[in-house]
Amino acid sequence: MPKVLEGVRVLDLTHVLAGPFGSYQLAVLGAEVIKIEAPDEPDQARFQGSDQDLNDEGMGTAFLAQASNKQSITLNLKSDAGRQILRQLVHTADILIENYRPGALDGIGLGYADLAALKPELIYCSISAFGSTGPKRELTAYDGVIQAYSGMMAMTGEPGSSPVKCGAPVVDYATGTTAAAAILAALLHRKNHGRGQFVEVAMSDVALILCSSHLTGHLWNGWHPEQKGNRYPFATIGCYQAADAPLMISASNLRQQRRLWEALGREDLIKENNRERIRTHAAESEALQEIIATMPVEHWERVLQAARVPASRVQRMEAMLADEHVKCRKVLHRFDESAGALEGLSVPVAGFRLSACDVGVSALPQVAGAQNEQVLKSLGYLNDDIENLRADGVI
């Protein structure tokens, strides 16, 4: 099948997680992504992950997770020669993505206004912690800081406990996904109108979007989301301890709560409206605790799922990955023996499929600067030129 972004070139000046994940989503759609890193300070994600040996080699699993399908060059943008090479690359590119502090690239002549003057069709995406406007525009942050700032941590955890961040860096991944979606919208606009544009994505804005329902409730009547642990307004949504493991039940609507109580033999607890469900939360919760504790989690999964009540045991990642369902969904790509030292590396691809276009991984993550010569020669640089650039610390 064809790749939907085949022929689209992306210059990726991002580092760590949100930006690289956004460009990775374009890469699995077929875009040619050229990752550009400083020769003396490459992406710090290269040195982070679960395998210390890979970290030492600059190929940490935090980097590998979102580096497939990308080329890599090193470029010192503090040098005149490095900036000139980037400008040459801009003439060949459709998209540029960066996640420097707002104004940092403007200060060296590589901001949107500078590069759009060279190529009006360029789509320039800037990802930052707080965006380019407002009093916090110059502050830097990572996922945990934004979770703290946005109120997400304050509403997470058991009542009265210390604030808790989400186990996964959800703001980073959501920011990368948002950036990819915004860039695709800009590409569609360019197709229809012929011009590029500036795309801005702020992690703080994305965090607010992730809290949409809580935000709307608070702004409507001042209601504030507090720590609730695994407690929901309805007792039929929550985590209950089975005989051997915790079980998450989500009998959300009236039909599901009816099927739940029927499956448990407690038709007397069926309610006809949601106000009644809220009023009798304590009694329903007590009944569920007593019933679920009598049998192992496997029993309850079988019974409740057969009754079309959403339910799952709380399990570790390795158990999820061993599930046949995960295997058949093909969300992961596993590199075979042709990957050499990275044989067996498995990476996530995308959380979606396209029926008429290929979404997939075809190329290994690259060491920093692996495509220096290839890319520079495509711009007309000769071997001696490249050696001089290397000697001068430009690449």
Contact yes or no for 101/140 (Cβ under 8 A): yes
Alpha carbon 58 to chain centroid, angstroms: 21
DSSP state of 162: P
Contact yes or no for 163/150 (Cβ under 8 A): no
> Can you list the pairs that 341-345 forms with residues at least 24 positions away whose Cβ atoms lie under 8 Å?
342/59, 342/64, 345/64
In which order are the strands placed within the sheet that holds 237-241?
Answer: 237-241, 246-250, 311-313
Instruction: Determine the Cα–Cα distance for residues 12 and 365; give it in Å rounded to an integer.
Output: 14
Rg (CA), the chain: 25
Instruction: Determine the Cα–Cα distance for residues 45 and 37; give it in Å rounded to an integer.
Output: 12
- Give the 3-state secondary structure of residue 232: coil
Which residues are CB-contacts of 116 (< 8 A; sequence separation ≥ 6)? 122, 124, 196, 198
Contact yes or no for 128/102 (Cβ under 8 A): yes
Point out the residues that are catalytic. Answer: 172
| Residues, the chain | 395
Which residues are CB-contacts of 59 (< 8 A; sequence separation ≥ 6)? 46, 342, 365, 367
C-beta neighbour count of 291 within 10 angstroms: 16
Instruction: Determine the Cα–Cα distance for residues 138 and 35; give it in Å rounded to an integer.
Output: 24
Q: Which amino acid is at 315?
A: Q
